[in-house]
Homo-oligomer: A and B are copies of this chain.
Amino acid sequence: MRGYPIVISSPSGGGKTTLVHRILADMPKAAYSVSICTRPPRTGERNGRDYFFVSKPAFERMVRKHELAEWANVHGYLYGTPKKFLDAKISLGYFPILDIDVQGAIQLKKKYPDGVYIFLIPPTLRELSRRLRERHTDSAEEIKKRLMAAKREISMAQQYDYVVLNDDIDAAVERVKTILEAERWRAHRAESRLKALR
């Protein structure tokens, strides 16, 4: 049985990274899809684990050679998903988990319509702003920019399959696990089971 991609997006500060780690820990057939990107690594980030850090010319070469399943320009840097890893995992029955932005998710949905596309939302914009300030990683100017971007991203959330409230990380993890469990029974995945009944 083939797998399918599971896409988790959220505005920055939306809790996506924590949630993705929790899902990966609990789902044996999930596999994190490591994006490539042109921004320099942040402290603590490791090449091949968090991202594959590549040069802009190298990234552009992959775009030209159609080696990316999706790619996007986010705050001036390029991010993308190598198609090779994705297709290999899917055909082996694994579920690649992609932590990608809205533009990338919308591209991917056209190519992988049987995937599961989940957008995480904060309870309020005020709460999102509080979470961003608490990280102590961004300047006031940077936070303002991220909040603007969040509004733009949230306005596209209905192009996803699910919009999940992250008011509490444990509850949000449970909601996503419930969704992934339910998705196994979608009619378009029942082909072989129905064939056996003919």
Interface residues on A, range: 20 to 34
Assess whether B194 is in contact with A121, with CB atoms less than 8 Å apart.
yes
Interface residues of A in 125-172 (CB under 8 A from B): 125, 151, 154-155, 157-165
Complex alpha-carbon distance, A193 and B163, angstroms: 9
Q: Which residues of B contact A175 (CB under 8 A)?
A: 182, 185
Does residue A188 face the partner (Cβ distance < 8 Å to B)? yes
Assess whether A185 is in contact with B162, with CB atoms less than 8 Å apart.
yes
Q: Which residues of B contact A161 (CB under 8 A)?
A: 186-187
Assess whether A157 is in contact with B124, with CB atoms less than 8 Å apart.
no
Tell me the A residues contacting B by CB distance below 8 Å. 119, 121-122, 124-125, 151, 154-155, 157-165, 175, 178-179, 181-183, 185-188, 190-191, 193-194, 196-198
